[in-house]
Amino acid sequence: MQKMPSLRSARDLLEELNSVDESTRIEAKRASESGKSVMQTVIAFANEPGLEGGYLLLGTDWFVNEKGDTVYRAVGLPDPDKVQLDLASQCTSMLNVVIRPEMLTETIDGKTVLVVHIPEADVTQKPVYLKATGLPRGYTVHSPTQIIRYSNRIEIRNVGYSLKDPTHLGSQAHACATPSLLPFCTTSTLQKQKAQASAPCAVSLSKRARYFASQPGAASTA
């Protein structure tokens, strides 16, 4: 089990928001109850790669001061215990995987706010989504080989498996286990596979990455 980081304080999170205005890892909401907006943020933090999760700061609000700066402040939650219980229950029952947020309450200027840390889901559990709406349209699960596209790189996991169409995974391998990768197969590789027809094509990870980076819809590595 992945160890969760120590929770940051609400005061620390507010100070960061007030110094940078926006943060990819902090979402401040008035949210007197755990509703659709809160769950959408939970899903976003659980799915976002590389951030190791994010923070929800509930019971806060913002205004624009005379200088034109956005200022975040505590406004309080009327029933923080109920918000905690509802959010924990929804993260367990409403999503396709169980998300276990870590939560604490803190009082700032006499107002009670709730700090919630949402951990990033394991790559094998993504995408996280509401069971009521189903898998996001256009999302493809690559199995058994996992091809994971990030904004600046591509990762291929379980590379020992064939990249053939999943409907043909049980069939015997041929001269190249993945015809679409045939241009990357060396002569020595093809000769070896004639002797061992069941052996997968020996394609280097970097060549595979270049191949998938060249496909339509692949993330830019610029």
Instruction: Give the residue, 85 or 24, on which the prediction is more confident.
Output: 85
Closest CA to 151 of 50, 52, 54, 25: 50
Task: Tell me which of 68-77, 89-98, 122-131, 190-199 is least confident.
Answer: 190-199
What's the whole-number average pLDDT of the chain? 75
Cβ atoms of 27 and 55 within 8 Å: the answer is yes
Closest CA to 222 of 147, 150, 146: 150
Give per-residue pLDDT as tens, 9-19. 999 999 999 99
Cβ atoms of 161 and 144 within 8 Å: the answer is yes
Tell me the C-alpha distance between 93 and 97, whole Å: 8
CA distances, 16 to each of 6, 20, 105 (Å) = 17, 6, 18
What is the band of 156 on the pLDDT scale with cuts at 50, 70, 90?
low
CA distances, 213 to each of 157, 187, 200, 216, 217 (Å) = 15, 24, 21, 8, 9
- Asked if pLDDT for residue 204 goes beyond 60, the answer is no
- Hey, what are 101's tokens? 């947020």
The rounded radius of gyration (Å) of the Cα atoms in the chain is: 23
Task: Tell me which of 30-39, 122-131, 143-152, 206-215 is least confident.
Answer: 206-215
**What is the residue type of 190?**
L
Report for 74-83, 171-180, 194-203: range of highest mean pLDDT: 74-83
Number of Cβ atoms within 10 Å of the Cβ of 88:
16
**What is the residue type of 144?**
P
10 Å CB burial of residue 168 (0-12, 13-18, 19+) is exposed
Q: Which helix (H) or strand (E) holds 154?
A: strand 154-157
What is the reported pTM? 0.60
